[in-house]
Amino acid sequence: MTINRSIARIATTAGLCLFVWGARAEVPANGQAYMDAAFTSVESLIKASQTLKPVLPRLADPVDGKVLADLWNAPAILGKGPYAAPDITALLDIIQKQTRVLQIYALFTPEPGRKEPDQAANAVEFQDELTRSRSFLLKAVGAALPAINDFATNLKPEEKTDARIRGLREMRVGLQEIVVGSALALRSPGLRDGNRLLLARGFAENAAGIAAGLEQPDRQALVGALQAAKPNLKPDAQKAIAEFVTAFSAAPCEGLCKLD
């Protein structure tokens, strides 16, 4: 997954495609502020550690773990759907910050500027933190794609400008990259079974939302990537992936899914 490209696509297109709505949104009124506060707390922990030897907050640490738990508190940040066009701006901002956290762990190096990140080693060392970031992002993408779909479906003919359609496509690609990154992570040889199960359940619980924005060929490619991971999964995780594939394959292709 190209994390930087995902952030750029989401950030750039957020201002390109959207109007300002007064309609009811399902993201909690303080969800974005909760996310901002949690993100700031994590950044503060990281900055405080840089004075000696660079380290990252760890989920297993009693103090760090509480801060990180706030960062991945999906009910407080995302609330509960259905999500619609008024939620898009908040959801994209949340996704951008969560993707930044994923980037921090994936690209960590103890010697910044002198030693390149060992992403394979980081994927194993920080797998608890990375898995929870990915699990949260599956929920957030599963919320954002239906919201964007609602926006795209309700565009008037005169509002379907080339720039806006191009922006919607770019947004879809950026969000899709996040989902594919989680599918590929399932195949990581060093991933513990508990983390595989957490990711697999993240897919199963958000199948319909993820399907809302993916074209049929992309749906088939995602299913193929998940099926390829099945030999590495225990029965409970295999069951979750099977549930995802069933719900995902049955989801109708409308709106954003048909945007070529």
69-122 pLDDT, tens digit per residue, is 999 999 999 999 889 999 999 999 999 999 999 999 999 998 877 889 999 999
Q: In the prediction, which pLDDT does 97 show?
A: 95
Q: In the prediction, which pLDDT does 155 show?
A: 85
Within 13 Å and on the Cβ side, how many CA atoms surround 198? 17
Q: In the prediction, which pLDDT does 37 show?
A: 96
Q: Report the C-alpha gap between 109 and 122 in whole angstroms.
A: 9
Q: Band of the pLDDT at 44, cuts 50, 70, 90?
A: very high
Q: Report the C-alpha gap between 163 and 161 in whole angstroms.
A: 5
CA-based torsion, 199, 200, 202, 208: positive or negative: positive
Q: What is the mean pLDDT of residues 206-217?
A: 92
Q: In the prediction, which pLDDT does 213 show?
A: 86
If you ran DSSP here, which 8-state letter would residue 79 be given?
-
Q: Band of the pLDDT at 9, cuts 50, 70, 90?
A: low
Percent of the chain with pLDDT over 70: 89
Q: Is the predicted pLDDT of residue 17 greater than 70, yes or no?
A: no
Question: Out of 2-16, 80-94, 233-247, which region has the weakest mean confidence (pLDDT)?
Answer: 2-16
Q: What is the mean pLDDT of residues 190-210?
A: 96
What the block records as the tokens of 75 is: 């009910």
Q: In the prediction, which pLDDT does 16 show?
A: 43
Q: Band of the pLDDT at 12, cuts 50, 70, 90?
A: low
Q: In the prediction, which pLDDT does 94 show?
A: 95
Q: In the prediction, which pLDDT does 5 show?
A: 54
Q: Report the C-alpha gap between 251 and 150 in whole angstroms.
A: 15
Q: Is the predicted pLDDT of residue 7 greater than 60, yes or no?
A: no
Question: Out of 3-12, 92-101, 177-186, 215-224, which region has the weakest mean confidence (pLDDT)?
Answer: 3-12
Q: In the prediction, which pLDDT does 25 show?
A: 57
Q: Is the predicted pLDDT of residue 188 greater than 50, yes or no?
A: yes
Which letter, b or e, does each residue of 107-128 get, where b requires 16 or more Cβ atoms within 10 Å of its Cβ? ebeeeeeeeeeeeeebbebbbb
Question: Which of the pair, 2 or 107, is modelled with greater confidence?
Answer: 107
Q: Is the predicted pLDDT of residue 1 greater than 50, yes or no?
A: no
List, in sequence order, every beta strand (DSSP E) within 117-213. none
Question: Which of the pair, 82 or 137, is modelled with greater confidence?
Answer: 137
Please name the amino acid found at residue 216.
Q
CA-based torsion, 225, 231, 233, 235: positive or negative: positive
Q: What is the mean pLDDT of residues 63-70?
A: 95
